[in-house]
Amino acid sequence: MTANGRMPTLYIPHGGGPSFFMEEGLGPKGAWDAQANYLRGLAASLGRRPKAVLAISAHWEERRATVNVQAKPSLLFDYYGFPDYTYRLTYPASGDPALAHRVRELLTAAGIDTGEETERGFDHGVFIPFMLIYPEADIPIVELSLVQGLDAATHLKIGQALAPLRDEGVLIVGSGMSYHNLRAMMSGEPGADAASEKFDAWLAETLESPDLKARESRLLDWAAAPGGRASHPRPEHLIPLHVAVGAAGADRGKRTYSDRLMGKMQSGFRFG
């Protein structure tokens, strides 16, 4: 919580599928421990409990900004090839139809086309990290989709429209991965570690800049950053960051998590 009672915004890593809850583990032993510990510590780091969470996940794209309006969303097990027990995980957090309506109201006022979802469950970009952040599942969560095309400017604008929620007790969370080139990660592709380091350094420099205009300008042109495209061949895991940054306004970022995962740098950020 900021000094004026405003909630911060976050950009968090959500792991690889059900990585935090696997008996055998995904990758080398202990590879996900630091990320899991970071997520477990997030609730205490905020200073107070939010009234609700608005989560923007890398794993949901729609033609227009679409809000899950359900009171009791199910879970969508949208990962493949994992052990059977990982498809029996539970996370019974409620939705918040009133917040969903408020989200649509703010977006519509900003000239952003919106839709509503009444059947889709929380995808793993939401329920997996929040099983660690709020394990009691006692904070309502509303999920907002990305917009197809993954345009950086569009998602900054979405975040800017949602900024008033921070003064209404809502925690806005972009859920993705700051490095997401699975082929390079799994194959040990030469040069991939260096590319991740360059992009991670650029990202921290960009987000921690006190110059709002420069920060947004650089994020609009993220693909030209050192290691940008090598770290994100497709940007769905990066674009939730743009929503968090847009909602942050003048609040500069602070890197609150940094670790090397299978040789590649991963980071998490807080704004405000």
**Residue 4 belongs to some domain of the structure:** no
For residue 48, what pLDDT is reported?
93
Tokens of 48: 């107070």
**Residue 264 belongs to some domain of the structure:** yes
**Residue 2 belongs to some domain of the structure:** no
**Residue 1 belongs to some domain of the structure:** no
Which CATH number belongs to the domain containing residue 243 in this structure? Answer: 3.40.830.10
**Residue 177 belongs to some domain of the structure:** yes
User: How many of the other CB atoms lie within 10 Å of CB of 64?
Assistant: 12
Distance of CA 205 to the CA centre of its chain: 19
Number of structural domains the chain divides into: 1
What would the mean pLDDT of 122-145 be, rounded to a whole number?
A: 98
Residue in the block written with tokens 């059947």: 119
Tell me: the pLDDT tens digits for 151-183? Answer: 999 999 999 999 999 999 999 999 999 999 988
Evaluate whether 147 touches 158 at the Cβ level (below 8 Å): yes
**Residue 38 belongs to some domain of the structure:** yes
**Nearest-CA neighbor of 178 among 4, 5, 1, 10?**
10
Tell me: the pLDDT tens digits for 37-85? Answer: 999 999 999 999 999 999 999 999 999 999 999 999 999 999 999 999 9
Confidence of residue 3 (pLDDT cuts 50, 70, 90): low
Lowest pLDDT segment from 46-55, 81-90, 190-199? 190-199
**Residue 3 belongs to some domain of the structure:** no
Domain assignment of residue 132, given as a range: 9-271
What would the mean pLDDT of 89-106 be, rounded to a whole number?
A: 98
